[in-house]
Amino acid sequence: MHEYQLFAYNHIVNKKHSALFLDMGLGKTIITLTAIAELRSFKLIEKVLIICPLRVANTVWQQEAKKWFHTSDINVVICTGSKANREKKIKQEADVYLVNRENTNWIVEQIEKKVISFDMIVIDESTSFKNYNSKRFLALKKILKDIEYRVILTGTPSPNGYMDLWSQMYIVDRGERLGKYITYYRNDYFTRSPYCVHVYNIKPYAQEVINNLISDVTISLQARDFLDMPEKITIDYKVDLDNKAYRTYYEIQEDFFTELGDNQIMTPNVLTQLNKLLQCCNGNIYNDDGDTIPLHTNKLDALAEIIEDNPNENILLAYRYTSDLNDIKKRFKEAVVLSKSAKELDAWNRGEIKLLVAHPASAGHGLNAQHGGSIVVWYGLDYSLELYQQFNGRLYRQGQKNTVRIVHLVAEDTLELSILEVLQSKDMTQQSLLDHLRVSR
C-alpha cells in the first residue's frame, strides 16, 4: 500500500468514528478492507455493513477483497436483488454484508427485527445520504447508536455546499460536532437568502469553524497531491448487464465465433458480429432493417453514478455508436457534443462544459483539451489502439495540472474485457485481438 493509503487505514483503525474524503482512484475500497481485516484480527468487530451504490455492491467490494492476500479471508456477502434473495443472503454467516443504498430501509428493518446486528457500518459514497429529509437517512438514524464503528467514504462531501455535510457527519458522530438537529446547524452557520426562502448562504466565518469542528475525525486526500507517479491512472468500472441483454449477447456471440473460425483477418462478417456484440454491451442493437432496439440502461446508470460522485469535475466522454450518443443526449441534458469544427473546445477549456461528448475518430488528433478537465470516460471501448491513446491524450498532455483518470465502462463477462486487456498490453494489433478472443472463449 502507498504511504497515503496507510495513513487513511490507520485513521479508520484508530478512530471508531471517521470520515474519509478521498478522490476517485486513491483506493478507498482496499483502504477500508485493510482496516476491517485489522479490526477483525483484534476481535474488535465481527459483522460489517457496507451501504453503497448498486453497481459498487455487485462488482467492487467482494472482488477487491479477493484480490489481496491480507483481505482474501474476509467473507463478503452481496445482499442485493429481489427481496427473497436479500432475505436469504442476510441470514448467511459472513464478515461483511453489502447492501445497495436503495435498500437502506430494508436493512434497517432487518436490524430492528433482530435478524442481524452489526458493530461496524461503512457508507460508500455518503453524499447519497446528504438529504437530511430522505427516507434512507431517517431510517439509518434509528440504528446508529447501536453500531460502534461508523465510517463514511466520498470524494465530494459537499457538492452543493456545506449544508450537505450535516447529515453525513451525523452518521459519523450522531451530531456531536455539527449539532443533533439540522435547524441548529442552519441557524449557527448559515443565513437565509433574501431572494429565496429555501436557499441558505454560509456565514463568512462558518467554513473555517466547521472544518475545525470535524477535523479530528476527518481526512481529505486529493488525487493531485498523491498521484505524481503515475500521472495517469486507469479505473475499470465493471457493469453487469440485465439477464435479457446477456441472453441476446450470448446468441450473437455464438454467431461471432462461428464466423471467426480460424480466420487470421477481420473479415466483413466477423467485423459485423463483433460490432453487434459491442453494441449489445453498450445498451442497444441494430436489427436487419437498421432500426435500434434498446436492450438495457446499465452503462447509462454507471455513467450517472460517475457524474454524481464527481460533481465538481468536468468529464470528456468517448462514445462509439450513434445509438450510444442518442441515449447519452437523452439521459444527460448537460451533455455537449463536440462538432467537427470543435468550436466547443474553448468553452470546455474555460470550464463551462460539464460533459463533453466526442467520438474518438473525430477528437483523436490535434485538440488541446487539457485545461477543461482531467477525467476521460470510455462509454464503449474502441479496439483501435491509436484512437484509444490519441483520445486519452486530449487530456493527458503537457499543461495538464491534475492527475488524469481514464475510466472504462466495461460490461462484465463480455469481450470488452478482452479488448481492455489487449489495449492495456499496448499490443492492439488486429491479430492480437483475434488471438485473445479465441483464448478467452
CATH number (domain holding residue 341): 3.40.50.300
Instruction: Please give the share of the chain, as a percent, with pLDDT higher than 70.
Output: 89
* Ranges 25-29, 102-106, 248-252, 411-415, most confident: 102-106
Please provide the average confidence, as pLDDT, over all residues in the chain. Answer: 88
Which grid coordinates belong to 79? 445482499
* Buried b / exposed e along 362-381 (16+ C-beta atoms within 10 A): ebbeebbbbbbbbbbbbbbb
Do residue 375 and residue 349 come from a single domain? Answer: yes
Could you read off the pLDDT of 387-429 as tens digits, one per residue? 888 788 888 876 788 889 999 999 999 989 888 887 876 544 4
pTM, to two decimals = 0.67
| pLDDT for 440 beyond 60 | no
User: Does 257 fall in a domain?
Assistant: no
Nearest-angstrom CA–CA distance, 13 and 19: 12
Q: Write phi, then psi, for 299 (nearest 5 degrees).
A: -75, -35
Q: Beta-carbon neighbour count of residue 159 at 10 Å?
A: 15
User: Does 112 fall in a domain?
Assistant: yes
Do residue 87 and residue 138 come from a single domain? Answer: yes
Q: Name the pLDDT band for 430 (thresholds 50, 70, 90).
A: very low
DSSP secondary structure letter of residue 133 = T
Sign of the Cα pseudo-torsion (352, 356, 362, 367, in order) = positive
User: Does 273 fall in a domain?
Assistant: no
Do residue 336 and residue 395 come from a single domain? Answer: yes
Q: Name the pLDDT band for 268 (thresholds 50, 70, 90).
A: low
Give SS3 for 276.
helix
The position carrying cell 463536440 is 338
Which grid coordinates belong to 340? 467537427
User: What are the DSSP calls for 374-406, one per residue?
Assistant: SEEEESS--S-HHHHHHHHTTTSSTT--S-EEE
Do residue 320 and residue 383 come from a single domain? Answer: yes
| pLDDT for 431 beyond 50 | no
pLDDT of the residue at 259: 61
User: Does 53 fall in a domain?
Assistant: yes
- Give the β-pairing of 404-411 and 76-78: unpaired
Structural domain of residue 397, as residue ranges?
232-242+297-440
Pick from 174, 192, 225: which residue ends a domain? 225
Could you read off the pLDDT of 272-289 as tens digits, one per residue? 778 888 999 999 988 777
Question: Per the omega criterion (within 30 degrees of 0), is the bond before 204 cis?
Answer: no
Do residue 204 and residue 340 come from a single domain? Answer: no
Do residue 316 and residue 216 come from a single domain? Answer: no
Give how many domains the chain has, as a whole number.
Answer: 2
CB proximity list for 355: less than 8 A, separation 6 or greater = 307, 314, 315, 317, 332, 334, 335, 336
User: Does 142 fall in a domain?
Assistant: yes
CB proximity list for 210: less than 8 A, separation 6 or greater = 162, 165, 178, 189
Which grid coordinates belong to 81? 436483488
Report the candidate in 25, 21, 4, 58 with the shortest Cα–Cα distance to residue 236.
Answer: 25
Contact present, 237 and 55 (Cβ < 8 Å): yes
Do residue 216 and residue 162 come from a single domain? Answer: yes
Residue 234 pairs with which residues in a beta bridge?
A: 406
The position carrying cell 455493513 is 49
Provide the CATH number for the domain around residue 90. 3.40.50.10810
Q: How much is the average pLDDT of 311-326?
A: 95
